[in-house]
A and B are shown apart, each in its own frame.
Chain A
Amino acid sequence: KNEVEQSPQNLTAQEGEFITINCSYSVGISALHWLQQHPGGGIVSLFMLSSGKKKHGRLIATINIQEKHSSLHITASHPRDSAVYICAVPSLIQGAQKLVFGQGTRLTINP
């Protein structure tokens, strides 16, 4: 069973700061998901990555498969980035993958 741990659990920063959220998992995987959960509760998929680095706008996700570790970075953070960021890893089962979720990192960006 894969265990997923995120740090920090809560993060408050000022607008413009560089943000890093970390995710560690216990069992080797083929890919890792970063998700964003808005205050209203909806979940949006940000990245799925299996190696190296991916970038989308001000968001950058990296993964080190050997270390079983991934990071999500936000450059030039903005109050609208305030949300819960969740990493999730697949647990492949017969017929489909299911995701095992971390507990999330609540990010608050103050203006």
Chain B
Amino acid sequence: EPEVTQTPSHQVTQMGQEVILRCVPISNHLYFYWYRQILGQKVEFLVSFYNNEISEKSEIFDDQFSVERPDGSNFTLKIRSTKLEDSAMYFCASSPDRVGGYTFGSGTRLTVV
């Protein structure tokens, strides 16, 4: 069964450093998403991406965050200058169409120290 692949599975970074979280969505999916889950809290939406541009972003997704689909397969989330409160599990997801089923990646656990 097709999978959404995320790397790395766990990343520890120093506060103020840049991190790039990588995702390979399912190849024929058209919509891509990033979500995050702070420990003990609900999963929350960060950003959606379609047709090579951001469809919507949440208030969490400020200027420190960016997304890119550089080569038609990878979908990346960059955090420019990490803060302690960015520590969370970050999930990538993709869907084949606007209302179709989601497939989630296994997540990247980001720890900012």
Contacts and interface: CB of A to CB of B under 8 A. Distances in A.
Interface of A: 30-31, 33, 35, 40-45, 48, 86, 88, 90, 92-104
B45 A43 contact: no
A98 B33 CA distance: 8
A93 B55 contact: yes
SS of B interface (majority): strand
Interface string B74-113: 0000000000000001010001001101111111010000
Interface residues of B, number: 27
A31 B95 CA distance: 14
B109 to A, nearest CB: 7
Contacts of A99: 35, 43, 45, 102
B48 A101 contact: no
A43 B91 CA distance: 8
Contacts of B51: 95
22 contacts: A31-B99, A41-B89, A41-B109, A42-B105, A43-B91, A43-B104, A43-B107, A44-B104, A94-B56, A95-B31, A96-B31, A96-B49, A97-B48, A97-B95, A98-B56, A99-B35, A99-B45, A99-B102, A100-B45, A101-B42, A101-B43, A102-B42
SS of A interface (majority): strand
B65 interface: no
Contact of B56 (A42, A93, A103): A93
B107 A45 contact: no
B18 interface: no
Nearest to A101: B43
A41 B107 contact: yes
Contacts of B95: 96-97
A96 B43 contact: no
Given A41-B109, A101-B43, A103-B42, A96 B103 contact: no
